[in-house]
Amino acid sequence: MTKRVHNFNAGPAALPLPVLEKAQKELLDYKGTGMSVLEISHRSKEYDATQKHATDLLRELMGIPTDYKVLWLQGGASTQFFDVPLNLQQSGKPMEYVFTGAWSKKAIKEAKLYGEVKVIASSEDRKFTYIPKNVVFSDKAAFGHITGNETIGGIEWQYWPTIPSSVPLACDMSSDFMDKVVDVKKFGVIYAGAQKNLGPAGVTIVIVREDLLGRVPENTPTMLKWKTHAEKDSLYNTPPCFAIYLCELVLEHLKGLGGIPAVEKVNREKAKLVYDIIDKSNGYYRGVAEKDSRSLMNVTFNLATPELEAKCVDEAKKNGLIGLKGHRDVGGMRASLYNAVSLESTKALCSFLTRFKEQNP
């Protein structure tokens, strides 16, 4: 049998084993074409069916209303950091952002290229260890922006902020995409790089309400207008076919598990197991995030010293537990528990952490 580790990588990250096996099985002869999906035209009927199916599954699983478009784009979530203000800006109106860590910082930096940015709430005062409470956007804003989950800090919105219905809310859901049930109607735009919680690197999802597509200035490059891709069903140019195909397989897999409500239930169970280890360790493991802002997806924690953390990461690796080193900017440790990380892998992590504490008092 092929050796598979317990994968806690932050992104690109674990994919469900049945998905990888199906992709492997179909690789040489896709739907009887005698070619792989990597080798066929993006205008072929076989590929067309794949992309449509992926879109339909996404719509079904997330309950995306009919007045929203689903776009499959390239450039990563980082491209959306400028594409969001580019497509949603309105002259004379400020763009309102919530500043919760490394990813929102990058989004804010790009928005400033387009006009006035107002940071209406921030958790910088306590090193981004929490999501600000009672956030309210004003009706003066062109749009509001939040980062659903700060992948590096390990904090996630547990409630959605208040925003006037006339102001669209944009959300970077790269690392919390489909980790829980979300009411899409609350958002004007949801975007996410696929490589954390949906599929492989190379494709970015944008879910955008149709009435917002007309805002983009005419002199914007064609490829940067959401409208272009919305009008052509993400086939204006060559889409990242293989990445979208893998997303289709992941979505099928999630549907088979019972959809997002079932996935959310397991995610809550997984996160609780690891946070319980932290909370019951008498300070041996110290959680980074404040309790009411803890991420379901990225559990960040520290040990007494960087040396002990390095030892823990190293020994974990020897035990087949991969990807537990914290982000290089903040250090510490991080266990990413994305949808594809099984309850079994999470339990293996918990047993290891319990053992490590006993053996390294």
List, as one string, the DSSP characters of 312-354.
HHHHHHHTTEE--BPPTTT-SEEEE--TTS-HHHHHHHHHHHH
State in Å, rounded, how far the first CA of the chain is from the last one.
36
196 as an active site residue: the answer is: yes
311 as an active site residue: the answer is: no
CB of 150 to ligand PLP, least distance (A): 7
Residues 6+ apart with CB under 8 A from 116: 94, 95
**11 in contact with ligand PLP (CB under 6 A):** yes
**50 in contact with ligand PLP (CB under 6 A):** no
If you compute the radius of gyration of the chain from its CA atoms, what whole number of angstroms results?
21
Of the residues 69, 72, 157, 172, which is catalytic?
A: 172
If the CB atoms of residues 302 and 336 are measured against ligand PLP, the closer one turns out to be: 336
Q: Report the residue from 77, 120, 243, 277 that binds ligand PLP according to the rule CB under 6 A.
A: 77
- Residues numbered 201 to 260 that lie near ligand PLP (CB under 6 A) are none
**302 in contact with ligand PLP (CB under 6 A):** no
If the CB atoms of residues 163 and 194 are measured against ligand PLP, the closer one turns out to be: 194
72 as an active site residue: the answer is: no
Question: How far apart are the C-alpha atoms of 304 and 26, rounded to whole Å?
Answer: 48
Cβ atoms of 349 and 312 within 8 Å: the answer is: no
| Residue 106: how many other CB atoms lie within 10 Å | 16
Question: How far apart are the C-alpha atoms of 357 and 361, rounded to whole Å?
Answer: 6
CB of 12 to ligand PLP, least distance (A): 9
CB of 58 to ligand PLP, least distance (A): 17
Please work out, in degrees rounded to the nearest 5, the angle formed at the alpha carbon of residue 237 by the alpha carbons of 235 and 242. 70
Q: Treating both helix axes as pointing N-terminal to C-terminal, what angle do 343-359 and 306-318 enclose, rounded to 10 degrees?
A: 130
Q: Report the residue from 33, 44, 78, 122 that binds ligand PLP according to the rule CB under 6 A.
A: 78
- Residues numbered 101 to 120 that lie near ligand PLP (CB under 6 A) are 103
**85 in contact with ligand PLP (CB under 6 A):** no
Of the residues 180, 196, 270, 325, which is catalytic?
A: 196
Per-residue b or e along 84-105, where b marks 16 or more CB atoms closer than 10 Å to that residue's CB? bbbbbbeeebbbbbbbbbebbb
Q: Report the residue from 174, 197, 295, 346 that binds ligand PLP according to the rule CB under 6 A.
A: 174
| Residue 314: how many other CB atoms lie within 10 Å | 12
CB of 25 to ligand PLP, least distance (A): 28
Question: Could you tell me which residues are beta bridge partners of residue 71?
Answer: 206
Question: Could you tell me which residues are beta bridge partners of residue 197?
Answer: none
If the CB atoms of residues 192 and 353 are measured against ligand PLP, the closer one turns out to be: 192
**9 in contact with ligand PLP (CB under 6 A):** no
**295 in contact with ligand PLP (CB under 6 A):** no
- Residues numbered 134 to 173 that lie near ligand PLP (CB under 6 A) are 147, 151, 172
Cβ atoms of 195 and 12 within 8 Å: the answer is: yes
Q: Please give the structure tokens belonging to residue 64.
A: 């995306």
**129 in contact with ligand PLP (CB under 6 A):** no
Binding segment for ligand PLP among 41-49, 73-81, 110-118, 129-137 (CB under 6 A)?
A: 73-81
CB of 84 to ligand PLP, least distance (A): 12
CB of 31 to ligand PLP, least distance (A): 29
Q: Which residues bind ligand PLP (CB under 6 A)?
A: 11, 76-78, 103, 147, 151, 172, 174-175, 193, 196
Residues taking part in catalysis: 103, 172, 196
